[in-house]
Amino acid sequence: MENDDRMVCNRFMEAADNCYYRNVPTSTDFLDIYKQNLFNTVIRELPPVQYRFDGGYELAERKVIMFLPQDSEISDLPFLTLKVTPRNLHFTEKLNHRDYLGSIMGLGIKRDKVGDILLYDNFAYIFCMKSIAEYLTDNLLKIRNTYVTVTEISNEEFIYEPSYEVIKGSVASLRLDAVIALGFNGSRSHITSYIIDGKVSVNGRIITSNAYNLKAGDIISVHGLGKIRYMDTLSETKKGRIMITINKYT
């Protein structure tokens, strides 16, 4: 294990130990998919505590791990949801994810303090650790050339309705490479490099085997391409190909 990976795993163990010995909830900062998968290597070494992943919504890529004493329930999340709106819609640019993230990093905030950033036509949601929420609210005043207002919202106010394209087609099998090739309109040989390079995750877990068989409802993320969900099998053709439906998130 590389030194950086070992340091990440040590932080997992430290958070779990604090939860167990102090009998209080603890959590990590936001983790990318690679670090979430590192957690799987230390699960057997954890003290007897509960743990849960959460990124604020079902399809979140960046998530925190919350550790809880046995027989306790989550009463408070370690992160908040912020809503960013332009101060004047008439002078609003078309802003992208990089614009938002660049402005946040420009305030000296570390990447692991911020979760996913969800963009809409005239506003955005930002998930961030509670420790920096007030600082972001007070200091994130401008994204590129657009002046913005940042406000904290409650869980009830946060509404997430993913948009997606429904794709129907046939595959030779429910292997990971075959389904991804259909979902992103590519060749299986091209998709193979993404899988081998560790750029593909299924339900948040990195999969490096082309032959991995999918189940209905599985969410597949491909770094650099996007995210799809294998929904269900529709039928089988006379030649043995399987007709399936996929939701491709936009």
DSSP for 167-200? EEEEESSSBHHHHHHHHTT--HHHHHHHHHTT-E
pLDDT above 70 (res 47): yes
Average pLDDT over residues 17-39: 95
Which percentage of the chain shows pLDDT scores above 70?
100
104-131: pLDDT as tens digits: 999 999 999 999 999 988 899 999 999 9
Give the pLDDT score at 1. Answer: 65
pLDDT at 72: 87
* 79-153 carries CATH number 3.30.70.330: yes
User: Model confidence over 182-228: pLDDT tens digits?
Assistant: 999 999 889 999 999 999 999 989 999 999 999 999 999 999 899 99
What percent of the chain lies above the pLDDT cut of 90?
A: 83
Residues of CATH 3.30.70.330 domain(s) within the chain?
A: 79-153
Q: Which residue has the higher pLDDT, 244 or 71?
A: 244
Mean predicted lDDT score pLDDT of the chain: 94
Enter the CATH code of domain 164-249: 3.10.290.10
Residues 153-178 pLDDT 10s: 998 889 888 899 999 999 999 999 99
Q: Which residue spans of the chain are classified as CATH 3.10.290.10?
A: 164-249
In the block, residue with structure tokens 């996929």: 246
Residue 89 reports pLDDT greater than 90: no
β-sheet bridge partners, residue 40: none
Which class is 3-68 in CATH? alpha beta
Q: What is the pLDDT of residue 74?
A: 82
Lowest mean per-residue pLDDT among 88-97, 140-149, 167-176: 88-97
